[in-house]
Amino acid sequence: MRRITVHPILNFPPKKKVKFIFEGREVEGYEGEPIAAALVANGFYEMRESVNLHRPRGFFCAIGNCSSCLMVVDGKPNIRTCITPLREGMKVEIQKDKGVLK
């Protein structure tokens, strides 16, 4: 994985960097990009475990449709991290069950 810096067609102007916590460690990403994009850019590919067989699941559809990237964000489960913008200080965890409403 890497961030694209030069591109023949597109520009990727520098954006504001923010720190967030993924599974207990501090990670850097860009403010406003989807949480899952920041994780992939840092080389973290597992977003959740499948509910029954506990298999790793990662980024798949990028349109908030497939539920492969559901994670626990700031204690809330079932967050579709491919369409949820990253904010400073977010606490992001791999989701291991169906999630519970508190």
Partner 1 sequence: MIEPDVLVVGGGPAGMNAALAAANAGATVLLVDRFQNLGGQLVKQTHKFFGWAARGAGARGFELAQKWEGEIQNHPRIRTLLGFEVIGAYKDGIWLAADLEDFYKIKPKRVVIATGASERMITFENNDYPGVYGAGAVQTLMNVYGVLPGERYLIVGSGNVGVIVAYQLLQAQAKVEAIIDILPRLGGAYWVHAAKIQRAGVPILLKRTITGVYGEGHVERAETIGVDEKFQPIPGTERTFSVDVVLLAVGLMPLSELLFELGVREYYIPELGGFVPWHDETGRTSHPEIFVAGDVAGIEEATTAALQGRISGLQTALDLGYEVNKDEIDELKMLLTQFRRSSLSEKVCQGLERLHTKGV
Partner 2 sequence: MIEVDGVPTFENLKTSMPTEERMRKKAVAMHECYQDIPCDPCVYSCPTKAITMETLVSTPRINHELCNGCGLCVAACPGIAIFLMELKEDRGLITLAYEFVPLPNPGEIVDGLDRYGRAVCEARVERVYSLPGIDKKTKTSLVRISVPPEKIMEVRFFRRRE
For residue 57, the minimal CB distance to partner 1 (Å) is 6
Contact between 7 and partner 2 by CB under 8 A: the answer reads yes
* Buried residues in 35-58 as b, exposed as e (16+ CB within 10 A): bbbbbbbbebeebbeeeeeeeebe
Q: How far is CA 17 from CA 6, 14, 45, 54, 57, in A?
A: 19, 9, 20, 33, 26
31-70 positions binding partner 1, by CB under 8 A: 32-34, 37, 40-41, 45-47, 50, 55-66, 68
> Does the protein bind partner 2 through residue 13 (CB under 8 A)?
no
Q: What are phi and psi of 59, to 5 degrees?
A: -65, 130
The residue among 1 and 9 lying less far from partner 2, judged by its C-beta, is 9
Interface residues with partner 1 (CB under 8 A) are 1-5, 7-10, 12, 30, 32-34, 37, 40-41, 45-47, 50, 55-66, 68, 76, 79, 82-83, 85
